[in-house]
Amino acid sequence: MSDRATGSLVSGRSTAPLTPERIRSVSSTFLSLDRNAVSRHDPTGHTRFVVEIEDGEEIGVVYFGSDIYPGSAVYDPNSALSMKAAAAHELSHLNRWMDDTELPLGVHTHLDEALTSLDAVLRFGRAHLSDHEVEQLVRDAVQRLQLHRHLLANEGELGDADPRL
């Protein structure tokens, strides 16, 4: 079962500790995308969206670590997401949670991640993201949908359907 503590960005992203300048840059990016969102640097953790209890109320928090930046891996679209595209993706997790449109935690995780990247495209679009960043998020969504389909095929949920489709 998946949980929010594992993060939604995949391996292959940056592992270099964030400098104070980069922490300020990421914080500014989150603020520019959503002034009301709570984001916090976690120097030892993965970038992730979590729900916490503060003063007896549930709040959504986006934690960011070094993996908020792309890595040198080029083998999958998620590894190459820009910092801003990754921030938009995580903020879309927050918004989907607030709108109650996320899938249940741990159920169809790849599908939920694909929907989150597509939500980021629609929510932030070209008003906040470059054409390249929009394309990165769409590529991430396509890959997540392919992973979802592959998982369903391996679990036999697609019946006799051709697994290459």
Q: How many independent structural domains does the chain possess? A: 1
Please check whether residue 164 lies inside any domain of the structure: no
Contact 106, 1 (CB under 8 A): yes
12: domain range?
4-154
Mean pLDDT of 124-147: 95
Phi-psi region of 125 (alpha: psi -120 to 50; beta: other; left: phi over 0): left
Please check whether residue 161 lies inside any domain of the structure: no
Eight-state DSSP code of residue 114: H
- What pLDDT score does 2 carry? 40
Mean pLDDT of 135-150: 95
Please check whether residue 121 lies inside any domain of the structure: yes
Q: Would you give the distance in Å from CA 110 to the centre of its chain?
A: 11
- What pLDDT score does 6 carry? 59
Q: How confident is the model at residue 164 (pLDDT cuts 50, 70, 90)?
A: very low
Q: In 10 A of CB 113, how many CB atoms?
A: 25
Has residue 159 got a pLDDT over 90?
no
pLDDT tens, position by position, 48-73: 999 999 999 999 999 999 999 998 87
Contact 21, 90 (CB under 8 A): no
Please check whether residue 159 lies inside any domain of the structure: no
DSSP string over 45-100: S--EEEEEEETTEEEEEEEE-GGGS--S--SSHHHH--HHHHHHHHHHHHHHHHTT
Please check whether residue 60 lies inside any domain of the structure: yes
pTM (2 decimals)?
A: 0.88
Cα–Cα distance, 4 to 11 (Å, whole number)? 15
Has residue 3 got a pLDDT over 80?
no
Q: How confident is the model at residue 7 (pLDDT cuts 50, 70, 90)?
A: low
Please check whether residue 105 lies inside any domain of the structure: yes
Residue 71's alpha-carbon distances to 34, 54, 78, 107, 121, in angstroms, are: 25, 33, 10, 28, 21
In whole numbers, what is the pLDDT of the chain averaged over residues? 89
